[in-house]
Structure formats: structure tokens, C-alpha cells
Amino acid sequence: MDIQGKGAVVTGGASGLGLATTKEIIAAGGRVAILDLPTSAGETVAKDLGSAAIFCPCDVTEEEQVEAAVDRAVSELGSIYIDVNCAGIGWATRTVTRDGPHPLAPFKKVVEVNVIGTFNAIRIAASRMVKNDPEPMGDRGVIVNTSSVAAFDGQIGQVSYSASKGAVVGMTLPVARDLASLMVRCCTIAPGLFATPLLGQMNEEQRGILAANVPHPKRLGNPEEYALLARQIIENPMLNGEVIRLDGALRMPPKG
């Protein structure tokens, strides 16, 4: 798909991987609706990016809010051909600790945001994409989701996060198959260790220890590298139904 002139929605687009992707799509000639929480920096980010960006505040887990945000995106951008889902949260607790079993509430919350929120955006965005005229490469739309290497190499204490990201991996192929006859593609990126707000609470020494586990390049990934892969998925018409690890050959050990 040629991004030039296309409308896009990016969930979690006000920071981290989502912000980098927003900027990459705009650099390629697209326009972006940033879908993020009302408490995010979305309004400021959209103003800084100029006329190529709008901010549509919403909680991805709320059906009516996402419906309204996507409909506003379609109205103001003319149409949406691209949906990149970066909204997500993390949590770390062992299945059983000295205090007892893993609390259920945070597990539910992580699954709600990372799984239900991702699918909520997928289904609503796709329902608008299928009304598009196919562009010259044959697509009516492209969906890019965000999983994690934790889906495959979950570490101690990552049970809720790994379960949620594994579910995103699991939905990728069936969504791609569901939408194939409608000419909408779906892929997922599984990043390794990236310099994002999820790691922002760690000090430099802790981040250095993590980076040392990456075979090559021996560093944390940059959000711009995620954005570059998202762009390549959008632009390459044969990428469909695939989960791509973006991790410098990292395989996470049991304990970080």
C-alpha cells in the first residue's frame, strides 16, 4: 500500500512505539488520528505534528469511545486505510508469592487492555476499511498489531503480560483469514527490549543489563525501528497473517 494520502489510526499514538509510528506514517505522506487516553499527551502531540495529525481521545477497551474516535477519523481524514495498534500496559507478579496467589484484578486489566482493546480497535477499524475502494496494490486496508517476545519467552512474573501478548499472536492469522476476501491485511510485530515508557522506570544500570542480553545489536531497540517495520508491513502487499519478531535475535532467559 502506498501511504501517500492515506488516513490512519494509531492506538497508543501519543508516546513510545505509537508516537514513532505516527511520525513515520506522516513522513510517508499519510495523515494520522492518534487514539489515546484523554490523560495522555495526545492533544499536544497532535498540535506539534500540525495538520497531518488529529487527537481522538478514547479508552481502547470502551466500545462506544472507539467507535466515536474511528468515525471522527474517517470524517476528518476522509477514510482510514491503516490501523496500527500500540496501546498496551504491563504488570509483573509471580503466580504465587509469599503474600498468596497472583491478584486477579491486574491480570484482568492487562488482558482487557492488551487483548480486548486490540481486538476492539481491529474490528471497528476493519469495518470502516472494507468500505474503501481498493488501492492500486489491491488493499482496502492494513492492520498492524503489537505483541511482544514475552508471548514466546515469558519470564518469571510475566504471566499476565505474556498471556495477553500471546493472545495477540493467536488472533493474527484468523483475523487475516477473516478479512482476506475483503482485501484487508493483518500482521503483528513482536518487539523485544525497546526504549519505551514501559521500561522508563528503570535506571541506566538496569537498562544496560537488559541490553547486554541482546545478541546483536547489543542495545535496546529504538521506537523508530518499530515504526520502520510497521511502515514496511503497510507497504509490502505480500505480508499478511504473519507475526514478526523484532528483537536482535534475543531469546529471553527465565529471569531478567
List residues with catalytic annotation.
161
Residue 210 burial (C-beta neighbours within 10 Å; 0-12, 13-18, 19+)? middle
| 81 φ, ψ (degrees, to nearest 5) | -110, -10
Q: How far apart are CA 164 and CA 116, in angstroms?
A: 9
Best CA proximity match to 162, nearest among 175, 149, 144: 149
| DSSP class of 52 | G
The strand pair at 82-85 and 7-11 is best described as parallel
Whether the CB-CB separation of 28 and 34 falls below 8 Å is answered with no
| Amino acid at residue number 15 | S
Q: How far apart are CA 127 and CA 132, in angstroms?
A: 10
Record the cell numbers describing residue 212, joined without a space. Answer: 547486554
Q: How do the residues of the chain divide into helix, strand and coil, expressed in percent and rounded to 5?
A: 45, 15, 40
Q: What is the dihedral of CA 112, 113, 116, 122, to 10 degrees?
A: 180
Best CA proximity match to 6, nearest among 57, 71, 73: 73
